[in-house]
Amino acid sequence: MSTGFLSIIFIAAALVSYAFTPAFIDIFERGGKLAKNYRSEVIPQGIGIMFPIYTLLWYILYILSAKNYSLDTLLIQFVITAACLIGFIDDMLGARNVLGLKGHFKSLLKGRLTTGALKAIIGLLIAFIISSSLTSNPLETVINTLIIALSTNFFNLLDLRPGRAIKVYIFSFLVILVSLIIKHKTAIISPFIPLVGSIIGYMPYDLKARCMMGDAGSNVLGISVGFLVVLTLSWYIKLGVLAFLIVIHIFTEKYSLTDLIKNNRFLNYLDNLGRL
């Protein structure tokens, strides 16, 4: 696909997302699907359910326009939808008295299934499906599965302040894009363009704390970044990414990621950038 056509898709996806997000906010407000944010303001939660709805339109257009589209396009839509759905279940039904992966699996071992444990298990299965479609090497499949699963949860951990998870998402996407430009393999990233446009179109509402995308949205961000990492990066870089994800998960079981960011002047500046 030409760069011009992809640019049009990106801009259109962003504009449609920006234009229709207020309608989703209204649906959630009328339905009473609200939650307290970090300022104890009661706002709609789970707005991220719109991401796979938006991308469905653009993937249909992508398939109709591309003469030789790959099955990866359909796999991406499946992955986005499945990850979003399990996140939405957690947003709507999840209790907040159990926190962290450790807490959810402790609860599961005691015979009590939480939506957090369900989300982790299904997320792992989705990650395995992606990994199995990319390689038949058992070790690489395990590494890829862990990267995708932990990346998904990492963005859940980030999504505690307006815009934070989306800023990290955009940064991650740009890093991967630059690496692909250097390797002249930018075509790999083209099926993700509609999703990126939809997320950027939604971003102003998140920054203004008009709504929360919830796990429904952060799951989509995390699993798509994980998918891109295992799809595009080299073996040694993937091992480095996995090591980072493991360390950050161990850290957040005991310490606050928000406090870490707040206590670093540069990170705190970036975190508050654009936020009311």
pLDDT at position 40 is: 92
pLDDT at position 176 is: 95
Q: Would you call 165 helix, strand, or coil by DSSP?
A: helix
* Predicted confidence band of residue 94 (pLDDT cuts 50, 70, 90): confident
Residue 33 CB partners (closer than 8 Å, separation 6+) = 44, 45, 46, 92
* Predicted confidence band of residue 177 (pLDDT cuts 50, 70, 90): very high
pLDDT at position 41 is: 94
What residues pair up with 44 in beta bridges, in sequence order?
Answer: 34
Q: Contact, 222 vs 151, CB < 8 A? A: yes
Please give the helix or strand (H or E) that residue 261 lies within, else none: helix 257-262
Q: Taking all residues of the chain, what is their mean pLDDT, rounded to a whole number?
A: 90
What residues pair up with 35 in beta bridges, in sequence order?
Answer: 43
Domain spans in the chain, listed from the N-terminal domain onward? 3-272
Q: What's the rounded mean pLDDT across residues 21-44?
A: 95
pLDDT at position 188 is: 86
Query: CA 94: distance to chain centroid?
Result: 18
Q: What's the rounded mean pLDDT across residues 144-157?
A: 96
The phi, psi pair for 42, rounded to 5°, reads: -90, 115
- pLDDT reading at 263 higher than 80: yes
- CA distances to 27, 61, 74, 204, 261 from 46, rounded to whole Å, are 11, 26, 24, 16, 24
Q: What's the rounded mean pLDDT across residues 250-270?
A: 94
Q: Contact, 9 vs 198, CB < 8 A? A: no
The amino acid sitting at 176 is I
Distance, CA of 187 to CA of 66 (rounded, Å) = 12
Distance, CA of 51 to CA of 55 (rounded, Å) = 6
How many Cβ atoms sit within 10 Å of the Cβ of residue 100? Answer: 15
Q: Who has greater pLDDT, 198 or 59?
A: 198
192: left (phi over 0), alpha (psi -120 to 50) or beta: alpha
- pLDDT reading at 71 higher than 60: no
Worst-scoring range by mean pLDDT, 57-66, 97-106, 180-189, 250-259? Answer: 97-106
pLDDT at position 257 is: 94
Residue 218 CB partners (closer than 8 Å, separation 6+) = 48, 87, 155, 156, 158, 159, 165
Q: What's the rounded mean pLDDT across residues 5-12?
A: 89
* Predicted confidence band of residue 180 (pLDDT cuts 50, 70, 90): very high
Q: Who has greater pLDDT, 61 or 269?
A: 269
